[in-house]
Amino acid sequence: MAIRYVLTFFIEIVGKLPSLCERANYTAIGFSGHVSVFDEGVAKDRGLKPLNRFERWLLKPIIEAEQGFRRQEFRQAVIEVTGEDPETY
């Protein structure tokens, strides 16, 4: 019986994974690694709810890794365009 509940829960989570990832992109991670007004506007236009505590806990390793990657990519792009490191401000 207990396995049935675990499997049902797992199937439910996997079915919701694409929408969870989209919600995480715009409400927890952000385009540049930080959630900006642009990200909040896109989330509002698409009707995306912020992640709840359980979803944040479940996706925490993914969110942290993606934030770090996006922050580094954004920093490199700013250095290439302006020639200045944004972390020195």
Q: Tell me the pLDDT of the chain (89 aa) as tens digits.
A: 566 666 566 656 666 667 877 888 888 888 888 888 888 898 899 998 898 898 888 888 888 988 999 999 989 999 999 988 877 76
Residues 67 and 25: their CA atoms lie apart, in Å, by 9
* Whole-number Å distance between alpha carbons of 63 and 69: 10
Distance, in Å, from the CA atom of 43 to the CA atom of 8, rounded to the nearest integer, reads: 29
In angstroms, the CA 12 to CA 19 distance is: 12
Predicted local confidence at residue 7, as pLDDT: 57
Structure confidence at residue 45 (pLDDT)? 92
Please give the radius of gyration of the chain, using alpha carbons only, rounded to the nearest integer.
17
| pTM to 2 decimal places | 0.69
- Which residue blocks in 1-89 are alpha helix, DSSP H? 2-24, 37-46, 53-82
